[in-house]
């Protein structure tokens, strides 16, 4: 199976509950969403001429490889970048679910080689998620809010996202949900989403204050505290974790 990859490198997870874990990142090309705070715009196109691959773990020296590439080649890159400290393979994007069958084959191949798979996704396709669920160990599901302006029909996207959470829990995938909070985010919107999450299961919720870019402003301290209190009243585990890799200056 052939597919389009943006980059493969070794780094440290800078978001969510597994913050600080060493990972090999496999960034797949292509994303159908248009989030206002997107920090990987250059990977939105599903077709990229070149993939860049780190030469040695942590070296930040890269070689260019022509796309598309075979799943077996990606698995070999992961093996070469794996270290004794590595926790898992972070399959990210773009939006990895947009890769469809290529993601299914890649997760299967990695799992067969003994690697643990960590899927970072916005949950755009519950049917694709259902096909990869048996091959992943961890899922970070980034639920979009209306003010993110990811899609025109937010309700349809939310159904897929919640469907992915349901499937992840069904397959006993270690899962958490991330919500990026902007200055314009209303506590009531977050609560609407979290009420629906609670009906699915007690999945942990990470509130991620937006990293300022292109005019985006962080939520206030008071705003974050109010939202955490409201979510906690629902009986959900809620945490506030910013993008630490942006603060630390690593990739």
pLDDT in tens, 73-116: 999 999 999 999 999 999 999 999 999 999 999 999 999 999 99
pLDDT for the residue 62? 97
pLDDT value at position 141?
Answer: 98
pTM: 0.96
Q: If you compute the radius of gyration of the chain from its CA atoms, what whole number of angstroms results?
A: 17
In DSSP terms, 54 is beta-bridged to: 62
- Give residue 32's pLDDT: 96
pLDDT of residue 215: 78
Q: Which residues pair with 239 in a beta bridge?
A: 206
Could you report the average pLDDT of every consecutive run of 10 residues in the chain (251 residues)? 97 96 98 94 94 96 98 98 98 97 98 98 98 98 97 95 98 98 96 97 96 86 96 97 80 71
CATH of residue 15: 3.20.20.70
Beta bridge partners, 53, equal 8, 63
Per-residue pLDDT, 245? 77
> What's residue 214's pLDDT?
74
8 Å CB contact between 200 and 169: yes
- Host H or E run for residue 126: helix 126-132
Number of domains comprising the chain? 1
* Residue 201: per-residue pLDDT: 94
Contacts 24+ apart (CB under 8 A), 228-236: 230/187, 230/190, 230/191, 230/194, 231/190, 231/191, 231/194, 231/205, 231/207, 234/191, 234/194, 234/195, 234/198, 235/198, 235/202, 236/194, 236/197, 236/198, 236/202, 236/203, 236/204, 236/205
| pLDDT value of position 213 | 77
Q: How far apart are the C-alpha atoms of 199 and 179, rounded to whole Å?
A: 17
Dist CA 100 CA 185 (whole Å): 31
Which of these, 15, 135, 24, 139, lies nearest to 87 by C-alpha position? Answer: 24
The residue range of the domain holding 231 is: 2-248
Please tell me the distance from the alpha carbon of residue 34 to that of residue 22, in angstroms, as a whole number.
Answer: 28
């Amino acid at each position: 199976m052939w597919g389009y990859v943006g980059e493969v490198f070794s780094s440290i997870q800078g978001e969510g509950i597994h913050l600080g874990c060493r990972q090999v990142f496999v960034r797949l090309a292509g994303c159908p969403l248009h989030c206002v705070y997107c920090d990987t715009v250059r990977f939105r196109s599903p077709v990229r001429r070149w993939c860049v691959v780190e030469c040695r773990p942590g070296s930040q020296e890269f070689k260019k490889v022509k796309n598309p590439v075979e799943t077996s080649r990606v698995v070999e890159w992961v093996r070469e970048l794996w270290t004794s400290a590595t926790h898992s393979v972070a399959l990210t994007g773009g939006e990895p679910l947009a890769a469809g069958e290529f993601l299914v084959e890649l997760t299967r191949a990695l799992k067969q080689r003994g690697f643990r798979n960590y899927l970072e996704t916005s949950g755009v396709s519950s049917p694709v998620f259902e096909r990869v669920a048996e091959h992943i160990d961890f899922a970070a599901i980034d639920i979009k809010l209306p003010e993110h302006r990811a899609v025109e029909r937010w309700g349809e996207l939310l159904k897929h996202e919640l469907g992915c959470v349901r499937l992840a829990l069904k397959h006993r995938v270690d899962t958490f949900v991330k919500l990026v909070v902007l200055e314009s985010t209303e506590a009531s919107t977050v609560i609407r989403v979290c009420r629906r999450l609670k009906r699915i299961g007690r999945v942990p919720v990470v509130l991620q204050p937006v990293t300022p870019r292109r005019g985006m402003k962080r939520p206030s301290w008071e705003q974050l505290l109010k939202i955490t209190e409201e979510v906690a009243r629902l009986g959900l585990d809620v945490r506030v974790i910013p993008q630490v890799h942006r603060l630390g200056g690593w990739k």
